[in-house]
Chain A
């Protein structure tokens, strides 16, 4: 478990970035603990808010020097709408860093980083770490339409190996991120694929990577109420080191999972061989 802190962060910046918003928060004591893949859980609407559940956002950047963390937020729900109505200087109750970060094998690594929309926010600092360790990276960044892409320029600043896909063909390759994936893995000689996005996309990335003999680490986006490991609502069926499948929490054991251990096609079910499934009986 990460060792998060809870504090009243100060909203320093709220800037539109394409279809999304960059949210920068001053949060002393947080940035130095953050590793790529960690997330932050924000309370929305203040202490009397009728929206009780914390909103989880993967951490985009963490800068110990300025004591800031930045997030990329899409306005698509009531909670994020509330957050985006905050003004610079407002307090935001923040718990971070949370979750299990992306595993980073020691030594130089060749990795392909794959993301859908703003889900890719944590991949850019990850790419920097990989490069700093003497490795190399490629990116596949996708979205439904060109205006929903995120981070293409950030990726291009890190590597010439950047592929863009859009489902409507308005930018780059027409199709999903998985379309050029197998070729791209081969082209850069990837040892690991790191992916962020929807469950369907992650399932597909994990499947293709495994078929290509490449390890995959996937950061899931699962609905959660607390972000700290107590509500038990964000569980996924995952195969453990001992070979036993269990419902594990996306917020503690995840959000970054070894893609080959997640039972993607069983999400939303209780597989019969899951630990404790027999006890569900008829009741």
Chain B
């Protein structure tokens, strides 16, 4: 990045900052080991882990994946080895490499989120917690926490109460709701220090040869560039609500089909002060650092001296 010294990439993160705005999207870069072969993790603003639950979880049977136009459906089902394995085996490895780790957590119950968050207190390398509230609530007929403002509030408030106060708490929002600003407002009110937007959209694909659903679980999460306009819209709407004072202002990490620096810039202009690269990592394992380089160049080309000056610029009146 020869042109970088003139550009201040410092990005807001909760109440603090990260050296740059780019991270991985949860579930798209494992615990970081695999993509570390393609870029130094410390050069990313943060590494967001796959979602970690209190216990090991096998995930769904195969087939778990189907390619769709400019995207894919997945139904991995939160396969993971649980919080014990993570803090003992994965986190120390990440910390040794200087990675700043945003730990994605989930549970089937409010208490499971809280218990998992508590395990992260005082752990080197952890810079924040992202609550994946887009998973089913065992205490409420399996309805997704994040589809309802009250259950979203409950999870975030419960985590915030017990988690290390020094760790920013991000709520990861699903776009499959009537009003994403309503969910965002509930999360911020409950104590979220930031919002991650968006998770996958629920989708489905049917194999016309077998004439049955392509995924073992029938439905799956749609991701990739196909969902980018939905994601940009969600970020724009929530940032607009913050600008109007309807929601207290917290940083937004924007994600959904970001493949290039210009894709990232769209999210920044919509109001995101963080950028997560997700499904594009499957296409290009070097994508996170490449997107950072491309975003830096795009900002410099447009005359910005500070990354933050571009955040939310699309909300300004159109120039005549």
Contact = CB atoms under 8 A, between A and B. Distances in A.
Interface stretch (A1-9, A124-132, A173-181): A1-9
Interface in B31-88: 33-35, 37-38, 50, 53, 55-65, 67, 69-72, 74, 76-77, 79-82
Contacts of A228: 34-35, 37-38, 285
B61 A233 contact: no
Which of A6, A49, A246, A247 has most chain B Cβ within 10 Å? A247
Contacts of A274: 58
A202 interface: no
Contacts of A247: 58-59, 79
Given A228-B285, A283-B136, A283-B142, A51 B67 contact: yes
B10 interface: no
A282 B142 contact: yes
Contacts of B65: 53, 223-225, 231, 233
B95 interface: no
B205 interface: no
A281 B284 contact: no
Contacts of A226: 281-283, 285
Given A4-B37, A226-B281, A268-B62, A53 B76 contact: no
B280 interface: yes
Interface in A49-95: 49-54, 93, 95
Contacts of A230: 28-30, 34-35, 281-282, 285
A232 interface: yes
A53 B67 contact: yes
A233 B46 CA distance: 24
A277 interface: yes
B246 interface: no
By size class, the interface of chain A is 35 or more
A1 B34 contact: yes
A6 B38 contact: yes
A220 B27 CA distance: 24
A162 B44 CA distance: 53
Nearest to A266: B61
A52 B71 contact: yes
Contact of B56 (A47, A49, A275): A275
B60 A54 contact: no
Interface in B129-147: 136, 138, 142
Interface size class of B (residues with CB under 8 A): 35 or more
Contact of B55 (A47, A233, A276): A276
Q: Say whether chain B's binding surface is mostly helix, strand, loop, or mixed.
A: loop
Contacts of A95: 285
A282 B30 CA distance: 25
A270 B67 contact: no
Given A52-B72, A230-B34, A268-B61, A276 B79 contact: yes
Interface in A114-129: none
Contact of A233 (B37, B64, B71, B136): B64
Contacts of A246: 58
Q: Would you call the interface of chain A mostly helix, strand, loop, or mixed?
A: loop
A259 B193 CA distance: 49
Contacts of B27: 232
B64 A43 contact: no
Contacts of B279: 52
A280 interface: yes
Interface string B8-42: 00000000000000000001111001110110000
A269 interface: yes
B72 A53 contact: yes
B57 A52 contact: no
A276 B280 CA distance: 28
Contact of A53 (B50, B108, B283): B283
B34 A276 contact: no
Nearest to A49: B283
Nearest to B82: A276
Contacts of B71: 52
B209 to A, nearest CB: 12
Contacts of B72: 52-53, 225
B69 A50 contact: yes
B74 A233 contact: yes
A218 B56 CA distance: 27
Q: Which among B50, B260, B283 has the highest number of chain A CB atoms within 10 Å?
A: B283
B286 interface: yes
A49 B77 CA distance: 27
B224 interface: yes
A1 to B, nearest CB: 7
B200 to A, nearest CB: 13
15 contacts: A1-B33, A1-B37, A4-B37, A47-B260, A52-B67, A52-B71, A93-B284, A228-B38, A233-B65, A235-B59, A270-B59, A274-B58, A279-B53, A279-B56, A279-B57
Interface of A: 1, 3-4, 6, 43, 47, 49-54, 93, 95, 222-226, 228-236, 246-247, 252, 267-270, 274-277, 279-283
10 smallest beta-carbon distances between A and B, as pairs: A233-B65, A276-B58, A276-B56, A226-B282, A279-B57, A229-B34, A233-B64, A276-B57, A283-B136, A50-B70
